[in-house]
Amino acid sequence: MATSLRQRLKKIELIQALHFIACHFWGINYIKTLYLNFKWLPVRQALHFPIIVGRHVLLRDTSGKMEINGKAHFGQFCLSFYHTPVDYASNRSVVFNQGKIVIHGNVYLRSGVKLWVGDHGVLTFHGENAVGANSIIACFKKVEFGYFSVLSWGCQVYDTNFHFFRDMETGTVTKRSSFVKIGDHVWVGNSVHITRGARLPKGCLVSNRSVVSRSYMKEGEHIMIAGHPAVKVLDNIEKVKGEHFLDLTAEAQLAAIYDSM
């Protein structure tokens, strides 16, 4: 009975993989997909092809590795082949991984995303994460994305400022890198800069073009922050997900309410 169930699950996984390939045939770079899976992962995980690499992806440095916690499955880490309103050829994704990328679930990186993980860096995704087109993630120490946390397009996440600075009066030299933590169910608007030492609590919404440079953990969950530098502007707010976006009637009703104000 158990053997029969395992065989059926493997058959379902194979069908899903074939359907996936058929739908995205022209968008996948098969050579780089094959290379990254067997370069970064143990053979038993690589055979499931959890890493899918799209066209126009530049593999600048692949000396690092990837760690998948839990059972690996096909298409778990997708890099730059989903349809987005950008020119793929002129918005190349770049991978520079000398450290370690850790994933606990599905991760979707849109076209033009640049990943830079230094030799001591650990970049962690806790699952159901998406990074918008033309975003940059630079991890020299530790960057962590919580479950269901999403970046919109054109964002920058750095855990380092790349340089050391010295106070000329005291002679104190500041450290250049500090842990960045993005909590669960965080939504980050477009063109947001998240710098070293930033901490975002669960359910936080970040308005577009904000600069996030400190911890907001003590300001509660489900808050909205905005500005340069970002400050809390709203409490008890959350982004509506899933099928609610398809409810155009509700959207029209909300628009009518705001127009009457």
* Per-position pLDDT tens, the chain of length 261: 556 666 665 666 677 666 666 556 677 899 999 999 999 999 999 999 999 998 889 999 999 999 999 999 999 999 986 555 555 556 789 999 999 999 999 999 998 999 999 999 999 999 999 999 999 999 999 999 999 999 999 999 999 988 777 778 887 877 778 899 999 999 999 999 999 999 999 999 999 999 999 999 999 999 999 999 999 999 998 887 654 444 555 555 555 555 554
Give the pTM.
0.82
User: How far lies 157's CA from each of 59, 71, 119, 150, in Å?
Assistant: 20, 28, 17, 12
Which of 115, 132, 125, 175 shows the shortest CA–CA distance to 148? 125
Instruction: Let me know if 28 is exposed, middle or buried by CB neighbors in 10 A (0-12, 13-18, 19+).
Output: middle
